[in-house]
Structure 1
């Protein structure tokens, strides 16, 4: 009798433990350091952003957040690490427009599905670009530049950081909406294009705001506009391209993701810590110096934003026959 009763009690306890595993996991979270995978090299904008954000989010969660760089294949290697990680909240991904909007549109050979294999947590930031031209350019304003380009079809060129990059797509989106033609000259990074832009060998470059703006402040280049939907606090004197071309917008966005099937309680806890951190004055100041505008969102808002962004870039990639090679 005693053995039978003991077995029944054990079975009930086991069943209860099994049904509450997810809740128990969320309740105990986090009880060890969290790994934040950055799918790009150390020292880049995504990496620096991750380190600024991780320190404050770690404080909010009460644990250390360790940034781990897993670069390669345009961000696919690091993203795949997170896609295949346990859904326990201890491995997260700082994704970008390159990994979740542009990459899937350029190739069907990714080892994961950007929608099916990840859990969205929060849209954490945007980094607009700046439209740069040589000081020798006859155009002093964006409208003057567009008029000049239309009068000189096929004579102008633009630099990029390589085929299929956000820099090229930003320029191609501009060409499409402005109705101008420019020849693409790819470089292995925008820094390598700057000397040719200064000398006038290159006519235009859409560089990231934090790396491009110093050249303007130093008088080496002229800035015509920024690519965000509205003017940015980092350079409020510069108009948004959308002021001349309504609806134009190009940002490198940053979003926090977990593996698929991440428990809702963990998602909510991380989301709250992230959004609170992005509102912190110290974090906002550090990000402003990086040219990054903090956002903060619900998981659903991140998913919706990425879906719209991916559709936009997919249309440009198809229209312009862009490849990653």
Structure 2
């Protein structure tokens, strides 16, 4: 396994662990806070939003959760602009598969620059959005919202999503600020006009806004694509988890409330998770997943022949990956190899 492949697995593992820890943080908040926090969560009925064109639910095939990090510029997020793109896009997408028995989990990171086929969806204005081929994955959210992202992932994978969780800019920033910032060390200067990140080589304690800039920086890193910024995301998420562990945030109701307060205000889920009680139940249900055994991979992709700035799913790896997830089987090594690595040369 190359260094780049190990890095992708580690960053996904920490992203997945972050999701688990945040669910547990929510589950640690007392019932007396239920009304205050639960009312902030936005819920979407997926069956109603998507319709009947969904993969069949297989009772013995585990649980599948699509985790979205959105870069919406609306509302509170408008003051957090870390780029020049208007509107909102799905900045991060992870398909988390929790095996039957809920003892093992695997997360598949879908690069936002991936060209996909978007199915027929409802646009944000309520009109019908026709199907389209070769559209960027992260553009689906901006045109039709999270339900269409779920439908797109289901149709490209054949894997039914039991739940989805979406956290926006403000939620991410709020969690970082709630724990007092995250310390990172960079080996060289980073001056990215696009993300706004401006750091000299050395150690820095980043606040929420700076953290957003840090994890979204990709220019001057690798080939400048979404694949090339994985190293910074890995470094930050490890630092974030280290800070959470050091402060014992999950063992303190007061601190857990502080995180949950920031989290729920920026959270959108399917209707099956759209309350503090349901989130807590789900968090407890995956408590048996050992983070050290979690496996995370990037969706195998190759550079597009027509546009080298975009990637497309690599065959036959992707078909083997989806088949393993649909049947709750171990993912074969042949399904994990991605021809595109974002310009990150393997280290020896």
TM-score > 0.5 by shorter chain: no
Kindly name which structure, 1 or 2, has the bigger radius of gyration based on alpha carbons. 1
TM bin, normalised by shorter chain, reads under 0.3
Give TM-score scaled by structure 2 length.
Answer: 0.26
Q: Which has the higher helix share?
A: 1
Give TM-score scaled by structure 1 length.
Answer: 0.27
